[in-house]
Amino acid sequence: MPSWLLIAPLVAIFAIGFLYPLIKLMALSFTGGPSATYGRLFTDPLYLAVLANTVGIAFAVTLGCVLLGYPVALAMARLKGRLALAIAACVFIPLWTSVLIRSYAWIVLLQRRGVVNSFLMETGLTDEPLKLLYTQGAVVLAMTHVLLPFVILPIFSTLKLLSDDYTRAARNLGAGPAKAFLFVTLPLSLPGVFAGATMCFVLALGFYITPSLVGGPGSMLMANLIGQQTTVLLDWPFAAALSTVLLVMTIVFIIVFRKTLSFSKGLNSVH
């Protein structure tokens, strides 16, 4: 049997389920002429601000997930026994919980009479409730919590495959624990960092539920803007243009991330 017959069903599903809708979406974005859709996007300061805000929040969430997730992944890979199982449970249980429930949990924590404000007022740190909910900080915090497992797991899988012989060899050559980590463990774990950061950034660019619930109407991201154009204003051509720009921007950032990290031998090892 020719090898192409084995992948024919997958190719057919990919073409019907992804390529065809994508081509139709791009064609719809040119309805009425590029100036009516793309020109409107790049000339209106409001839409450019939403685009910049989306990229900025995605970068902040990705950076926060990497900084918080790497130590957790390292602990999961190095520790054994019940402690390792406890850390793994803290990672997997939120992953199995609905995003909607986790987003509502942040509303309970951050609202004016929520857990955080009640604690601050009872301890005398503040005299009145702080505005924690419906802010950019709340959006970044909640999205970081939701997307953190998607960064931890790729880094953990890479660290788990690394042999301890590399670290022992570095220590035997005179390197301290910090130096062995910076020059041996960290470079070799960059494939997992790249995979987790890329997945987190792509998901953050198109996040919809959490910004809508935690950020409110004042925190508009591209996904929320696209939803507004399709469900409220029924402007499908402009929504298609927004979606196309978001897709192209995602591909560009993935290429940039890959080129930026290609200096690492650990990353080159996956080519």
* 11 in any annotated domain: no
**Global pTM?**
0.85
Domain housing 264: 46-268
**Both tokens of residue 227?**
């939803």
Most confident of 1-5, 37-41, 193-197, 213-217: 193-197
Residue 144 has pLDDT above 90, yes or no: yes
Region class of 131: left (phi > 0), else alpha (psi between -120 and 50), else beta: beta
Hey, what are 250's tokens? 């995602």
Q: Of the candidates 162, 2, 198, 17, which has an alpha carbon nearest to the alpha carbon of residue 78?
A: 162
Mean pLDDT of 132-137: 88
Whether residue 100 contacts residue 209, with contact meaning beta carbons closer than 8 Å, is answered with: yes
- pLDDT of 263 > 80? The answer is no
Which pLDDT score, from 0 to 100, does residue 165 have?
78
What's the DSSP call for residue 80?
A: -
List Cβ neighbours of 264 (8 Å cut-off, separation of 6 or more).
Answer: 187, 190
CA pseudo-torsion sign 231, 232, 236, 241: negative
Task: Judge whether 68 lies within some domain.
Answer: yes
Residue 18's pLDDT is: 83
**What is the rounded distance in angstroms from the CA atom of residue 9 to the CA atom of residue 2?**
13
211 in a domain, yes or no?
A: yes
The mean pLDDT of the chain is: 85
Report residue 262's pLDDT band, with 50, 70 and 90 as the boundaries. Answer: low
Q: How many domains does the chain have?
A: 1
pLDDT at 98 over 90: no
Q: Within its chain, how far is the Cα of 262 from the centroid? A: 20
The confidence band for 142, taking pLDDT boundaries of 50, 70 and 90, is very high
Q: Residue 3 falls within a domain, yes or no?
A: no
Quick one: average pLDDT of 101-107? 90
**What integer pLDDT is reported at residue 261 of this predicted model?**
67
The answer on pLDDT for 266 being more than 80 is no
pLDDT grade for 7, boundaries at 50, 70 and 90? confident
Residue 38 maps to a domain: no
Rounded Cα–Cα distance for residues 211 and 178 (Å): 38
Here the CATH number for the domain that contains residue 163 is 1.10.3720.10
**Confidence category of residue 151, pLDDT binned at 50, 70, 90:** very high
Q: Estimate to the nearest angstrom the gap between the alpha carbon of 213 and the chain centroid.
A: 17
Q: Are 243 and 226 in contact (CB under 8 A)?
A: yes
* pLDDT of res. 147: 94
Q: Specify the pLDDT at position 264.
A: 53
The sign one gets for the Cα dihedral 212, 214, 215, 217 is positive
- Res 63 pLDDT > 60: yes
Residue 32 resides in a domain: no
Inside any domain, residue 115 = yes
For residue 220, the SS3 value is coil
